[in-house]
Copies of this chain bind each other. A is one copy, B any other.
Amino acid sequence: MSATRPSLKLTHEGALTMLAGALAKAKELGVPQNINIVDEGGNLLAFVRMDGAKLLSRETSLSKAITAASHRQPSGRLNPADAVNLQLAAGQRLTNLVGGLPIIIEGQCLGGIGVGSGTGAQDIEVARAGLAAIGADDQTP
């Protein structure tokens, strides 16, 4: 029996670097975004809401980040037939919206990045820029 296991945590510097990388991509695309970085426990590490981003996308983008961290895969991969059932049963933070990506480094999931206020494709592109900023794995196809 081992009571502990070694793991990696994302630092706040890492989270802010991700935020900056995602922000730069959103500016390049010309689309204001909500950008959330959460740790493996689903707790917020860093956030920015850009000028003109949709206010309510704050919550959807946070759900995307938590979903990606929880499931260790991009959000949007649930069976559509189950999505509403799962979301209600999970207390609503589980979402099947795209725009959430897990933060995977050295094979470990350290948390998630969730982006929302653009189109799904824009949200994903901005989230990927966040991963790239710290050299995290990118599991998008």
Contacting residue for A55 out of B49, B70, B86, CB 8 A: B70
Give the secondary structure class of A's interface. Answer: mixed
The residues of A with any CB-CB pair to B shorter than 8 Å are: 1-18, 23, 39-51, 54-60, 63-64, 66-67, 69-72, 82-97, 105, 110, 134-136
Q: Is the CB of A97 within 8 A of B71?
A: no
Contacting residue for A40 out of B2, B41, B50, B91, CB 8 A: B41
The chain B residue sitting closest to A91, CB to CB, is B59
Q: Is the CB of B42 within 8 A of A41?
A: yes
Q: Is the CB of A17 within 8 A of B3?
A: yes
Contacting residue for A47 out of B44, B69, B82, B134, CB 8 A: B44
Q: Chain B contacts of A94 at CB under 8 A?
A: 56, 59-60
Q: A44-B58, A57-B70, A95-B89 are in contact. Are A3 and B11 (CB under 8 A)?
A: yes
Listed from nearest, the 8 A-B pairs whose CB atoms lie closest are A41-B41, A3-B14, A55-B70, A3-B134, A56-B70, A89-B95, A47-B47, A60-B89
Give the docked Cα–Cα distance between A45 and B34 (Å).
9
